[in-house]
Every structure is written in C-alpha cells, then in structure tokens.
Amino acid sequence: MVAPTIPGPDSSPEASDIPLPAGATDCHVHLFGPVDRFPYAEGRGYTPPDAPLEHLIALQERLGLSRAVVVQGNAHGYDNAVLLDALARAPSRLRGVAITDEGVDETELRRWDALGMRALRFHIFAPGKAPGYRRGVGLETLRHFTPALRALGWHAQLWCEWSALEAAMPEVLAAAEGIPLVLDHMCRFDPALGLDHPAFALMTRMLAEGRVWVKLSGAYRCSTRVPDYPDVEPMHRALMAANPDQVVWGSDWPHPQMTEATMPNDGRLLNLALRWTPGEGDRQRLFVDNPARLYGF
C-alpha cells in the first residue's frame, strides 16, 4: 500500500490575542524530515511534507511560545533520529517523547535522557480498531520499559481513544505502576456523548485523583465544528477544574492526517485554549509550571 500524501499546516497562523505567560510551552508537536536527511519509515500510514525544526521555531516565535515538547511522529516509525537531532540543536527550548521498540537498551535511553528525552509513547486500540499500518507500540512494550522509565524518572505517554479507555486502564495502570501516565488529546473523546459518559467520567476521575495527567490538546480531533470547536470547551474546562496541576496544552502541529478542509489554524487553537482557561493562575499552571515539572525544563 502506498502511504497517502497529507497536507501541511496552515501557513498563516493567527496572532495570539491574549498575553501568554513567560516560558509558555507547547507540549505536543511533531517534526518531519527533511526527508533527504531523515527518511520516512516503510509501512507508514501517511507521507507528510517536511516540517523541520526551523519551521517550528518560526511558528513559536510568531505565537509567543518559548518551549516545545516534540513527540516522535509515526511517519518516522521507530527511528527517532529527527527528534534526537532537534534536541541536540535546541536543548534549552525542547524536550522529547520517543516511540521505540524493545531493541533499544538502557544505555541508549540514558544517552537520550542526557539530550532531553523525557518519555516514551504507547498506543492502545480498542479491539478491531487498530489501523492497518505500522503505528506505535502497545501494552507489552510498556511493560518491558516500565523499569527503565522508573529508573530514569520518565513518564509514559498514552494514545488511547475513549472507546478503549475503560477496558484498557486497569492493565495500563498496573503496567505503569510507579511512573507518571499522560493521556494524549483528551482521549479523542466525542463531546456528542456528553460529559457524563463513563469514559469521560473515568478520565476526569483519574485526573482528579492524580493518577494520570491529561493533554488538553487535539480539540480538532474531537470535534467537527470547525474552526472554534465550541463543543470541546466544556471538556477542556471540566478537565482543567478536575486537577489544574496535572494538565498541559499542546497544538499537535503540524497536524498529521488532517484534510485541507479540517486543518486547524495554530494561532486560533492557542487563542481558544487561552479563552477556555480563565484566570492568570490557571494559565500559568497550564502553559508554564506544569510543563516545567513534567518535562524538566
């Protein structure tokens, strides 16, 4: 199967219309290419246009963001070279989250740690919902790496859609005992289901109890109500209220696998998050203090 070519991000991000606190951090971005230096993986599900470090820094400077957490993109498979290169080139600005298989040993993980890697990412799918292409590593790999994550002080970042959350969490929590657990993109919860749905109630409860962190990211992956996603605002506010000390925000730039029609505007995403987080204290937590604590800035 030939991996489809996907569009790049909106090239005209809106300006931020609410002042950002100093040290504001985007906790979920990806880097792709340049492909002549960092080839894409065989068996990938999509082929993105190049989205190199220079483009990310230019976007951050336009929006007033100071730091970013780069998450390994699935188009690069288990080869984290593009991420490691970026960490080496911008050590004060960046931290990283890798995807790797069990072929990487603790010596290599310690080298990554010195560069600024702070987590490994894992994918959990509901039965029958795994994509038909190479995408991430799952629960068995999480079990394998738990001792190393604990020793390094890293966390496990989990891509787990809401439909898999209830069934998966007992095993995940057992496998990740003793290490922080971060849920991606609000588990891509569908707001049409209502905030009293068991999956959202479970996510909120685990957050309130301090058992997980949640990325208040991916609004455009939860909602079809472009461009302001008003049905996601109650989700954002409910999660923020549940535990404002264990939430972080991310743009998900450059938004892989979105169409031209659904491609979000990065400045607008940032403005929405700022409007949905009233109060300087909560904005300070979401954009600065929590990222600094979780990623070691």
pLDDT of residue 126: 84
CATH code, 108: 3.20.20.140
Quick check: is 15 in a domain? no
Strand order in the sheet with 67-71: 25-29, 67-71, 94-98, 117-124, 155-160, 181-183, 213-215, 247-248
Tracing tokens 């300070």 back to the chain, one arrives at 284
- The number of distinct structural domains making up the chain is 1
Q: Is the dihedral of CA 142, 137, 91, 113 positive or negative?
A: positive
pLDDT by 10s per residue, the chain, length 297: 689 999 999 999 999 889 999 999 999 999 999 999 999 999 999 999 999 999 999 999 999 999 999 999 999 999 999 999 999 999 999 999 999 999 999 999 999 999 999 999 999 988 877 665 566 899 999 999 999 999 999 999 999 999 999 999 999 999 999 999 999 999 999 999 999 999 999 999 999 999 999 999 999 999 999 999 999 999 999 999 999 999 999 999 999 999 999 999 999 999 999 999 999 999 999 999 999 999 999
**CA gap 155, 295 in Å, rounded:** 9
Report whether 113 contacts 80 (CB < 8 A). Answer: no
pLDDT of residue 127: 81
Residue ranges in the chain assigned as alpha helix (H) = 53-63, 81-89, 106-115, 139-152, 162-175, 198-208, 219-222, 233-242, 266-275, 280-284, 290-295
Quick check: is 231 in a domain? yes
Quick check: is 131 in a domain? yes
**CA gap 265, 17 in Å, rounded:** 14
Report whether 267 contacts 15 (CB < 8 A). Answer: yes
Quick check: is 120 in a domain? yes
**CA gap 70, 91 in Å, rounded:** 12
Quick check: is 211 in a domain? yes
Closest to 256 in 3D by CA, of 128, 133, 162 = 133
**CA gap 76, 141 in Å, rounded:** 18
Quick check: is 10 in a domain? no
Question: What type of residue sits at position 83?
Answer: L
Quick check: is 67 in a domain? yes
Q: Which two tokens stand for residue 73?
A: 């993109």
Quick check: is 17 in a domain? no
Q: Which residues are catalytic?
A: 252
pLDDT of residue 245: 98
pLDDT of residue 17: 85
- Distances in Å between the alpha carbon of 166 and those of 125, 173, 177, 186, 241? 11, 11, 17, 14, 21
Q: Which two tokens stand for residue 193?
A: 């289901």
Report whether 31 contacts 82 (CB < 8 A). Answer: yes
Q: Which two tokens stand for residue 238?
A: 């409910």
Question: What range defines the domain where residue 72 resides?
Answer: 25-295
3-state secondary structure 95-107: EEEECCCCCCCHH
